[in-house]
Amino acid sequence: MRIHISCRVSEMPVISLSEPKNNKRIIIERALILEHIDILNFKNIRDARLDFCDGVNCLLGKNGMGKSNLLEAIYFLGMCRPMSSIPESALILHGEEMLMVKGQYSMDTGASEEVSCGIVRGKGKTLKRNGKEYDRISEHIGRFPVVTVTPSDSELVTGAAEVRRKLMDMVISQADRTYLAQLIRYNKSLESRNRMLRAGLSDQLLFEAIEAQLSETALSIHATRREWTEEISPVFRKYYSMISGDAETASMKYKSVLNDKTPLQVFNEDRSRDLALGYTSRGIHRDDLDTGLGEYSMRRLGSQGQVKSYTVALRLAIFDYLKERSGVTPVLLLDDIFDKLDSERVRRIMELVSTGGNFRQIFITDTNREHLDETIASLQGESRMFEVADGNFNLICQNEKK
């Protein structure tokens, strides 16, 4: 069932109806469109003003020209943080003291919102919505959802557990503000316990008090992560099967010490060892996702094409999750999507994102004009192509077909 009403973006209404089969909420679905962006001193983009269509926006250019930097500027607006693990000051154009990114969003209901985010070197960051600064930046998370597919996504399979855990936290936080608050509480309590461990304290009552707080938040976070994995896994498997042409089966499982034990059991078992180590060795801060390929590990046996297929399927499943939970169709950023994939897998991915109406506004980067021309030719909606050179953008192709 789908319900359409007109409303302001800021209201973000959610309608709950009885669902006997799965008890899921029925969400008003609306498409999020980035109509315009102004960029000043962001990486190699000194000054850019761009208007986008609500379909597919293609960015053509050689490597290092600024294609990915534009995607990162869009991500920066939605998430108020860098796309990669770099200091925020590294986003400022070399030799400049500040950056500013401003975007004008609209909904297909007609509502409009302006978001601006700036950084002044040595003075921090400001984030405004409709000209008013947020009391807390966390209030912004999830309002303007964005999903990325980038070459560095291979780290989601081949990288450390921290990478996959951070992904879980970032995605769930966009859809659940309570979860973000619980994460903050857990990390503060964890740091308190670690300080006690480093100090060599042996006061059992004090440990029990801190561990009771940790246990409460850990149970909540663990339950939410487990629910997220169970919800997203079948969607992920469906996307992987479609991308691979049913050539192989992929899987994703939630790995946590709390799958088998309570937090208090873990803390009691580990206290002596943790005192020797000086930190909390087990807990939800060590959780992971197991990535499988058939009966084997994707991390150990997956080819480059299989790993990329895995990460693209995971990102598309995340897209569906955020869309369902928030009621807002996210902006989709596809950076260098054609790399490391054979032509058939690329074709299947583009069919997925360009037909069927599940996706709306998409940004794609590539160095090959032929790839982008083929993509545009297969589309049913609007498209624009920009040529990118040295941080400058030139509109070279526009298709307004409906």
Q: Are residues 37 and 113 in the same domain?
A: yes
Residue 335 counted as domain residue: no
DSSP bridge pairs for 104: 36, 114
For Cα atoms 10, 14, 18, give the angle at the middle one, nearest 5 degrees: 175
Tell whether 166 and 289 lie within a shared domain.
yes
Cα separation, 3 vs 341, whole angstroms:
38
305 in a structural domain: yes
Q: State whether residue 292 is helix, strand or coil.
A: strand
**Domain end point (choices 329, 348, 382):** 329
The answer to whether residue 340 sits within a structural domain is: no
Q: Which domain holds residue 84?
A: 1-145+367-402
* Domain CATH for 136: 3.40.50.300
Domain assignment present for 341: no
Q: Are 61 and 389 contacting, i.e. CB atoms less than 8 angstroms apart?
A: yes
Determine the 3-state secondary structure of 304 from DSSP.
helix
Q: How high is the mean pLDDT of the chain?
A: 88
Residues 163 and 118 in one domain: no
Q: Do 114 and 206 lie in a common domain?
A: no
Please tell me the predicted confidence (pLDDT) of residue 375: 80
pLDDT of residue 10: 32
Q: At 401, is the pLDDT very low, low, confident or very high (cuts 50, 70, 90)?
A: low
Whether 175 maps to a domain, the answer reads yes
Summarised one tens digit per residue, pLDDT across range 235-278 is 999 999 999 999 999 999 999 999 999 999 999 999 999 999 99
Using one digit for the tens of pLDDT, what is the confidence trace for 318-373?
Answer: 999 999 988 889 999 999 988 888 888 988 888 888 765 688 899 999 999 988 88
Q: Is 163 found in the same domain as 233?
A: yes
Q: Are residues 178 and 307 in the same domain?
A: yes
- Is residue 320 one of the residues assigned to a domain? yes
* 388 located within any domain: yes
Q: Are residues 13 and 33 in the same domain?
A: yes
Residues 115 and 229 in one domain: no
The pTM score is 0.88
Find the angle CA(180)-CA(139)-CA(280) to the nearest 5 degrees. 25
Residue 102 pLDDT greater than 70, yes or no = yes
d(CA 76, CA 93): 15
Please report, to the nearest 10 degrees, the dihedral formed by the alpha carbons of residues 273, 277, 281, 286 taken in order: -160
Find the angle CA(152)-CA(389)-CA(116) to the nearest 5 degrees: 70
Q: What is the percent of the chain with per-residue pLDDT over 70, rounded to a whole number?
A: 91
Query: Which of 13-22, 24-33, 132-141, 347-356 is predicted least confidently?
Result: 13-22
Any residues with CB less than 8 A from the CB of 137 and at least 6 apart, and which? 80, 125, 127
